[in-house]
Amino acid sequence: MMNRRGLLLALTSSLVALVLVVGSVVADELLGTAIKVDADAKVIVVIPKDSDKEVKIKVTDAQADEYLADKNNVALTVDARWSEVDIQPIFNADIRTIYQQKYIFPRPNTCSLRLGTDGYSTWQMAVGGVSKAPEINLKDVPSLSHGQGHIVAGNGVPFLWSKGTNNIAFTSRWENWPKQVTVPINKSGDAVWFLLCGTTGPMEVRIANAELRLKYADGEVEKLEIVPPMNFWTLCPFGGTDYDYQRDGFALPKVPPTTVQLGDNCRAVVLGWHLRPGVALENVTLETLSEQVVIGLMGVTVMNSK
């Protein structure tokens, strides 16, 4: 016989599709009260009657998952031709200074347990005595560049490397950086590759921290969500602890995202995306969506397989 929780899940599942379409909060005497609907994440949160526990229901979309898997599964070919995009005009920072800022606004005007002004430290770290932000360097870049003005990621994708002090275009909800940056591309190809780097935390996992919007010459826009730890890993260990498949495998993707180590405490992520055939990619916009996150763009390269 189905228990109350099972009945709640069964009945609510029949309403989730409607809830996601209308985008409104649903209240029902039998099911409980929906306190949040996240259409992008396809999640509805309800509280059963006579209970203080939340029940989260996630709607799966096999067709959408298959589409994203196909767009992200970019294979490299030995005869690939590369067109590295010069994005230095939009660079606004040096990755080595990401934790040397003062992140003050926006913050709640109340007493709360929050992230330190360095953008790294938490109150738990302060209690544990490890609140100092790590030092970041780029000591491995020379071995990746071979003195040719670009770096080659571990999977073989080349990116132009900055000739100046700034080497990244940061985006953030913090007022220190713009919420979004846009880089002109005006190229066509089989796929485009991105080199991303930045900082996020445990409170921001499994949600879109940022998104890349790809606008084509015909006006169509495709979106690639940046969701840690599925396709984005923060640049360094958090509180001295890094991702560990033996310990954290249940929460990590089956295959980790491709990364390249630029130096001590400086890991960048490499993401690929299949482009629409025969249509030029006009520009790419990176926008940070989550609070207390800083994510930047370090490189963009268009690939043609033949």
- pLDDT score recorded for residue 82: 95
User: How far is CA 21 from its chain centroid?
Assistant: 25
- pLDDT score recorded for residue 239: 79
- pLDDT score recorded for residue 139: 96
Which of these three, 12, 41, 60, is where a domain ends? 60
| Residue 22: its H or E element | helix 4-22
Is there a single domain that holds both residue 70 and residue 56? Answer: no
Residues of the chain with pLDDT under 50: 1-30
Is there a single domain that holds both residue 170 and residue 49? Answer: no
- pLDDT score recorded for residue 247: 92
Q: What are phi and psi of 230, to 5 degrees?
A: -70, -45
Expressed as residue numbers, the domain containing 25 is 4-60
How many separate domains does the chain show?
Answer: 2
Residue 145's contacts (CB-CB under 8 Å, 6 or more residues apart) are: 151, 152, 161
Is there a single domain that holds both residue 198 and residue 51? Answer: no
- pLDDT score recorded for residue 23: 44
Exposed e or buried b per residue across 11-47, where buried means at least 16 C-beta atoms within 10 angstroms of its C-beta: ebeebbeebbeeeeebeeeebbebeebeeebbbbbbb
- pLDDT score recorded for residue 203: 87
Q: DSSP assignment, residue 238?
A: B
Going by C-alpha positions, the residue among 268, 95, 290 that lies closest to residue 179 is 290
Going by C-alpha positions, the residue among 213, 204, 212 that lies closest to residue 290 is 204
Is there a single domain that holds both residue 197 and residue 263? Answer: yes
- pLDDT score recorded for residue 103: 96
Is there a single domain that holds both residue 145 and residue 8? Answer: no
- pLDDT score recorded for residue 40: 57
Classify burial at 172, counting beta carbons within 10 Å of its beta carbon; exposed 0-12, middle 13-18, buried 19 or more. buried
- pLDDT score recorded for residue 14: 42
